[in-house]
Amino acid sequence: MNLNNIRKIIKKGVIVENEPMARHTTFRAGGPARYFISPANTSELAGLVRYLFNNGIEYYVIGNGSNMLVSDEGYDGVIIDLGSRDGTEFTLLGLDDSSDPVKFEAGAGSLMSNLGKLMLKFSVTGFEPLSGIPGCIGGALAMNAGAYGGEMKDIVTGASAVDPEGRQMHLSKEELDLSYRHSAVQDKRLIVTKVEFELHRGEAEKIKALMDEYTSKRREKQPLEFPSAGSTFKRPEGHFAGKLIEEAGLRGYCINGACVSDKHCGFIINKGGAKASDIYELICYVRDKVCENSGVMLEPEVRMLGRFD
């Protein structure tokens, strides 16, 4: 890859070489990315993706760095960072009038938690179950994230994206093909740039009460005090991953600093000093033990980046 060519595309954004991914993932583990690039706008993003695609250079897009694990050797490609993007493209629109339903759009790099705060500020309801998800809006749409009975597909009406050839496009809700932890964004390797929502006016007191209730449940049932990637495994049909892991006798089981949470067996946490290899080894161990005990093969929800063999 010719770095001079990249610099011709990324004029306002940031390019960093050999950036430790432990700084950018919620697991707080992982080696360096060969290049870590934060485009300043959609034009830079589209130009970068087009260049990488045309030259066969591997890349991966991140927001808040949740739901992923980078190997200790690092990632010999380009990490495209959308989580630190700023500017008018990422301004929330259409919230400060009195219309109902409330239609607005938000940039892909906006944190779900920040959007939740804005919903409360403008007394908009429907986002409460999703407000505590530890990630950015683009990633949440890509995997149709959900919590407490709510999913992105319930409130999303469309999205803007960039395809692998750098073409900008708009997708309707139908074209997004949202289902459990799936979307057309994954299938077509699209990069979400904006998400369009439709919600409704509500009462601030009720919205806050619901958010507080969900926050309390998370603190009570999830190991928020430790680095993790959220739920480690997808929910297998007819079962709950955490229950299967507990039934396999793995509550609190550790490999060095990587542990199955005592609070919620569906979470693998970094209790301190865990390497990516420790976390990966534990994921594989849990998967095999659960299959041995129940016959159910768990599928990791966490994306693996780099070499783990």
Q: So which residues are the catalytic ones?
A: 181, 231, 301
User: Contact 232/266 with Cβ under 8 angstroms?
Assistant: yes
Q: Which residues of 109-129 are buried (b: 16+ CB within 10 A; e: fewer)?
A: bbbbeebbebbbebbbbbbbb
Residue with tokens 């016959």: 295
User: Contact 81/37 with Cβ under 8 angstroms?
Assistant: yes
Cα distance between residue 62 and residue 135, in whole Å: 10
Identify the CA nearest to 63 among candidates 242, 210, 229, 196. 229
Cα distance between residue 124 and residue 116, in whole Å: 9
Q: Which pair of tokens denotes residue 234?
A: 């997808």
Cα distance between residue 60 and residue 77, in whole Å: 8
